[in-house]
Amino acid sequence: MKHISKQRLQKWLHRLGSVLGIAGVGFVVFKLYSYSDTLRTIDLTTSDYVALVCLAALYGAICTFQATAWRELLAMLGVNVTPKWAVATFATTQIGKYVPGNIFQYAGRQAVGAAAGLPNVPLAKSTLFELMMICAISPLFAVLIVPLFFPDVPSWIALVGFVFVAALAIAIARLIGGLHLARGAVAYLLFMILNGAVFMTTLGLIDPKALSLAGVPVVIGAYVVSWLVGLVTPGAPAGLGVRETVLVYLFTDSIVSSVILLAVLVGRIVTVSGDLMFYGAGRAMASRVPHGAQAEQGSA
């Protein structure tokens, strides 16, 4: 009887995770619809639209680095899961970040993980460590935007400084949490760099001159910093409104505000679409992963 009760609980937890994911999809579809009128007013060629679709697919693909980092954090906490299960679970729950409250992606992940038979405490700790890792790594990108405040500092010096502090951060992570934490740090660094590169490319499509004026490393650094501020701001689903404010402030003297706002809007369409693609891929993967089997087989 107790076994049946546990199975029933796991079933309902899995349903809860699915419901939170579906709620996220609903908010994503609503956002895409609300952006459609603005997108029609932008003078983009067919090749530009193709490029945006490719960027969305690329963004969806690089989200696997986040899932990889989460898997490494679980391993550090003594819970080993397969890469396929980690990506499928992360993809189908991460879209909950679009639901107002900024917590539903974590709640969904906790529910799906518990339904798979993973212990609740390490699951909760992995979320805490993930937030700590994000808050520790993303500020490193502030080194890249030093030229915005000190114009005499060349971008290449800022880039060298960033490489140094990033390498130092990975070494410290290895010292504190071992190989798993170091791998997680590398995965998040790669995600943030590529995420910034996606925005940089979007900005280049909107206004190629803006990209040459700001410089590639500076744009990537500014975007990651704005992404962090949006992430930690309470009540701002996926950093809505916050990211724009930060970027306009940072590029006040180098890029016209209207160009930045337009690039952020188009960038949001790209990332929202990418998250939707990532969710779809995760659902397809999850349908081929028995509930709990992949997690339980690897549990420490």
Name the residue range of residue 143's domain. 2-298
Sites in the chain below the pLDDT cut of 50:
1-4, 6, 9-10, 12-21, 23-25, 27-28, 292-293, 295-300
pLDDT of residue 82: 92
Q: What pLDDT score does 101 carry?
A: 66
- Alpha-helical runs (H) found in the chain: 2-41, 46-62, 64-76, 83-94, 104-115, 120-137, 146-149, 155-206, 208-214, 216-232, 242-250, 257-286, 293-298
Q: Encoding tokens for residue 198?
A: 């996606």
DSSP 250-289: HTTTTS-HHHHHHHHHHHHHHHHHHHHHHHHHHHHHHTTS
d(CA 149, CA 77): 40
Q: Give the C-alpha separation, 173 to 22, whole Å.
A: 35
For the chain, how many structural domains are there in total? Answer: 1
Each residue's pLDDT tens digit, 287-300: 776 554 454 444 44
pLDDT for 28-72, tens place per residue? 455 555 555 555 666 677 888 899 999 999 999 999 999 999 999
**d(C-alpha 9, C-alpha 6), whole Å:** 5
Q: 200 with 265: CB under 8 angstroms? A: no
CA distance 233 to 228: 9
pLDDT score for 249: 85
Distance CA 276, CA 99 (A): 14
φ, ψ dihedrals at 240, nearest 5°: -60, 125
Rounded distance, CA 57 to CA 67, Å?
16
What angle (nearest 5°) sits at the alpha carbon of residue 126, between those of residues 121 and 127? 105
Residue 183 near residue 71, CB atoms below 8 Å? no
